[in-house]
Structure 1
């Protein structure tokens, strides 16, 4: 098989960007080339690609002990007018020696930060290899025991079921969508078990990985000894400031429900429009549902195809375009308002108080009573204050602050009216000049932002490909349409790898495009892979809850 440099570049970028679009038949490559691509997919997977940042930050923090790293060694400041009062028991030298010994077992702020990084690395790697091993064993065992050699054949050679299992597990978890078969997974369209396992792997490696990881952290915190719980508290409170794979609680719930809604919408539209399709008559209604579910999940991230989606209705393909272009991760950039944060704080405080009162008689006898009080988050005086009374006080303080700002603004306006008339024209001219300067700057800024927006570049890329391929498009070639070009661009940008294909071609639609169009698709894949990178880097710059704050609260 002859592979040009451009096709090799395209396939490599597609693999590294976790896309899956190919201009060559991946199944026709040599075993060595396939293993190299599998290595690229393993390294570039989002779970593995985020680890170097954690390792570097952990090593940097370890080698810079005694200095401020990400504002982590700041002193705890109990006086904060913008927050509700929450008392903490301080280190008391009058405590008995055995209680001080228990408290001394807590890590120092420097060690806490370092251990949190190490714990994140351990949890991510453990979860990654647990999912990978489970999928590998499940698929390999199923292929070996339930599939005849004809189902494992490619190029008149029967492939090893464990090799197929390793490739499918790796490419599904890392959302590459490549298979060792020229016909993708069409031969397994009616294999319910294999379809369900692949769906779970794709979702575990994309939509549900942050959810699973956060629940693993919660579970680890419950099982960890008391002195180690502070490490998991630090991870949960700082979440995406430590790792981009961890989202805050509210955003995680939003992410989960939005993902379920998108999946349900894709499956529902497919059932409504294509359940009675002539091309699906060979399958039972249950298998059709499995096909729709499999394609909907894969068009969100991966790109496996068990059926030729170009045979679906145009309305279904438009919905698929919407699903590929919409990523629920963008909702995780939402900031919780101060009101929500304080409300969640008060709810947590009330829950802790209730559990403390109900379980006071059942507390562990291994720790003295004074130590148990030292472990409490709230004081006895704060526990007696009703929840809504504290919220009322907070809202009242905010109201007074707003009134004070309004009073200052009103007094400033009155002072402006008292200015001598001879200065009024000069002030008006100055204001007009400042307005024009600000307006011109804003105009240039918004114009620049418009040209660097993602959707602007996507429109430009679509226009350029249509310009390059216009001599070959419909009506010259009815199989080269605007819809297919848009579908290919959105698939490349979303890192999906789904394609409408071309007749008598086992590769993506991109394979019949000219060299210039392929280069544009490469740029689109790279741009889609790195979108949101600046926002993620900004989140990593500041630690929201310092180690000192966590330790003081724990004590």
Structure 2
């Protein structure tokens, strides 16, 4: 993409496609469904279609893993804006005094920084040579590539209608014990994770738990991958320590884990840094890519991937009874 560094139309179009096809896919999907609902005429002929679209908007996670409720979609949009804003500001501020970047005309440089912010976490494109940007910005890119999938994954699992059961928040609830179907389902012996915690705090607890789990989920695999690659590339490091530095290996490994594709490259070659690695190192990167590609999958209990059965109806009734009793008890306490 360096050849299109000054192509405004190309950069804007590619930025839109990068967002629509990756992190902002759930946002665009809900926007499309909402737009169709608003465009359909309000007459008897389109009643069934409007009812279907209403159901999709009201119960999105019962139908598709990447279609979220309105509140979660707004949260995802905010997360995307914040993360991309950090990348954009980092590109502009951390490269002050860097002739390789400041030589670009100011207007184009701002657009290039915005495009790079969109691409660094998903697209894999870059309009400037990554090796020419400041090392501080490269470190920021490593962090952003590692957390690239977090907004979607956390939103997906936070909006799962059965995720509360996976956390086991019902075990010691009197409401759960008194539900008609609770006694029939001894296999659902859940333990309450937060005792005496209001339901409003459950979401915050869940998000924090997911964030901790995701941050440490595959960090040991990445450390092991970097260690193995450095062992394999020991001779290359001794011959050219600047090119085969530990940071370049970390950058390439995290890029592979995030399935991003950005590379620091090589000073005298047109291909990426991984092209200079030995076969064993390339196989390790392939394993890292497979591992990273599957970290965004929904959990096994996701409602959108469960087949309908009578048991699920009973579980939904239990959930409704528990929430109703909690609402009544909070109302009396107030």
TM-score normalized by the length of structure 2: 0.69
Q: Which residue of 2 aligns with 1:541?
A: 306
1:306 partnered with 2:127: yes
Three-state SS of the structure 1 residue aligned to 2:260 is coil
Q: 1:335 aligned to 2:158?
A: yes
Match of 1:239 in 2: 60
Contact 2:101–2:133 (Cα < 8 Å) also in 1: no
Distance 1:536 1:496, change over 3 A: farther
**How far apart, in 2, do the equivalents of 1:401 and 1:514 lie?**
61
Cα distance, 1:245 vs structure 2: 2.6
Higher relative CO (Cα under 8 Å, sequence separation at least 6) belongs to 1
1:270 touches 1:292 (CA, 8 Å); kept in 2? yes
Which residue of 259, 264, 270 maps to 2:80?
259
Q: Does 1:526 align with 2:290?
A: yes
Paired with 1:542 and 1:275, the residues of 2 have a C-alpha distance of 55
Alignment partners' CA distance in 2, 1:188 and 1:337: 41
1:290/1:222 CA distance change after superposition, 3 Å: closer
Match of 2:242 in 1: 478
Would the aligned equivalents of 1:199 and 1:298 in 2 still touch at CA under 8 Å?
A: yes
Q: 2: CA distance between counterparts of 1:211 and 1:335?
A: 16
Q: Following the alignment from structure 2 to structure 1, what is the Cα–Cα distance between the partners of residues 252 and 313?
A: 43
1:316 to 137, 141, 148: 137
Contact map agreement 2:259 2:293 (CA 8 A) in 1: yes
Matches within 5 A, 1:8-47: none
Among 193, 198, 201, the alignment partner of 2:14 is: 198
Q: Which residue of 2 aligns with 1:249?
A: 70
How has the CA–CA distance of structure 1 residues 504 and 269 changed in structure 2, closer, same or farther, with 3 Å as cutoff?
A: same
Query: Could you say if the C-alpha distance between residues 537 and 466 of structure 1 is closer, same or farther in structure 2, counting changes exceeding 3 Å?
Result: farther
Match 2:228 to one of 464, 474, 499: 464
Whole-angstrom distance in 1 between the partners of 2:135 and 2:116 = 15
Unpaired runs of 5+ in structure 2? 41-45, 162-172, 179-212, 318-334
Deviation, 1:304, is: 1.2
**Residue in 2 that maps onto 1:455:** 219
- TM-superposed CA distance for 1:474, in Å, is 5.5
| Corresponding residue of 1:291 | 112
Post-superposition CA distance 1:201-260 (Å, at most 9, x none): 111111222111112112222334223322123322332332223122222111111011
- Segments of 4+ in structure 1 off by > 6 A? 543-546
Q: Post-superposition shift, 1:305? A: 1.8
**8 Å Cα contact 1:188-1:306 kept in structure 2:** yes
Q: Aligned pair 1:499/2:298, yes or no? A: no
Q: What's the offset of the Cα at 1:288? A: 1.4
Secondary structure of 1:231 counterpart:
helix
> What aligned pairs does 1:124-523 form with structure 2 within 5 A after superposition?
185-224=1-40, 225-326=46-147, 327=149, 328-335=151-158, 453-473=217-237, 476-523=240-287
Q: Residues 464 and 496 from structure 1, CA distance in 2 versus in 1: closer, same or farther, beyond 3 angstroms?
A: same
Q: Count residues in correspondence.
A: 257
How far, CA to CA, are the matches of 1:536 and 1:246 in structure 2? Answer: 17
Distance 1:337 1:499 in 2: 35
Query: Aligned in 2, Cα 1:336/1:242: closer, same or farther, shift over 3 Å?
Result: closer
Structure 1 residue 524, shift from structure 2 partner:
1.0
> In the aligned structure 1, how far is the partner of 2:93 from the partner of 2:13?
25
Alignment partners' CA distance in 1, 2:242 and 2:281: 18
User: Does the Cα contact within 8 Å between 1:493 and 1:529 map onto a contact in 2?
Assistant: yes
Deviations along 1:121-164, whole A, 9 cap, x unmatched? xxxxxxxxxxxxxxxxxxxxxxxxxxxxxxxxxxxxxxxxxxxx
**CA spacing shift, 1:226–1:541, aligned 2, 3 Å:** same
Query: C-alpha separation between the residues in 1 aligned to 2:119 and 2:111?
Result: 12
**Separation in 2, partners of 1:337, 1:300:** 24
Cross-structure match for 2:207? none
Give the TM-score of the pair, scaled to structure 1: 0.43
SS in structure 1 at match of 2:123: coil
- Cα 1:454–1:211 shift into 2, 3 Å: same
Structure exhibiting the larger radius of gyration computed from Cα positions: 1
Is this contact kept in 1: 2:66–2:156, CA < 8 A? no
